[in-house]
Amino acid sequence: MIPRHGPSEERLLAYAAGVLSPPQAVVVATHLALRPAADAWVRRLQAVGGQFLEETAPVALSSDALTRALARVETDAGEVKRPALLNDMPELPEPLRRYALGPWRWIGPGMRVRDVHAPRDGDCRVILLRIDPGRETPRHTHRGDELTCVLTGAYATETDRFEVGDLEEADGEVLHRPRVVSDQPCLCVAALDGQIQLDGWLGRLMQPFVRL
Ligand code: ZN
């Protein structure tokens, strides 16, 4: 069986508690939309957390909690109100349909990127990456966390293979060179903190041209 890749439990707990940074939450929400079993687990966690809050101190809930509660009420009433869909990519999972998208930009042979206009957190923002079959990104590491979820196709690193719905967590300690191994282009959504750091002398030469 192919191992499934997902967020760490710490990150899922932070997401369930509503304290994950907004760009990372967008990528985790996308992963959960593609992995119903993990989504059910997070919802159970949120329900238990909500009950725990009710039974302990009467604290003020965030406005997000109210929105989520209202959404649940609407779902229960059979009238699901979906947020307005704001972009030109109907193939995207629902959590990504609510954000406007910037223009596609060329960043290398067979590689394009476009901004997802989701809330930022400092330098951390959400992007879509589209890489053609057989292409690989330059070998790189990261200034901060990089969270990547596969939307179409598949890519492999030196040690792992990531399929649709898989989520890869990378940070400054991970040096990798993802290569697309599917017959179709690999479309990913990523929350990226700062610019990636290209490795080697060629990478350092290319660095000014690879702006994600
Ligand atoms: Zn990376």
pLDDT at position 2 = 46
Confidence (pLDDT) at 46:
85
Distance between Cα 38 and ligand 1 center (Å): 24
Cα–ligand 1 centroid distance for 13 (angstroms): 23
Q: What is the pLDDT of residue 44?
A: 86
Please, what are the averages of pLDDT over each run of 10 residues along the chain (212 residues)? 77 92 97 92 83 61 56 52 77 95 92 95 95 92 93 95 96 92 98 85 73 74
Structural domains for the chain:
1-82+90-212 (2.60.120.10)
Please tell me the distance between residue 78's alpha carbon and the centre of ligand 1 in angstroms: 41
- Most distant CA pair in the chain: distance in Å? 60
Cα 108 to ligand 1 centroid, rounded to whole Å: 15
Ion ligand 1 residue ranges (Cβ < 5 Å):
146, 170
Taking CA atoms, 77 is separated from 9, 73, 134, 184, in Å, by 32, 6, 48, 40
Q: How far is the CA of 1 from the centre of ligand 1 (A)?
A: 25
Quote the pLDDT of residue 49. Answer: 75
pLDDT digit string, tens, across residues 160-173: 999 999 999 999 89
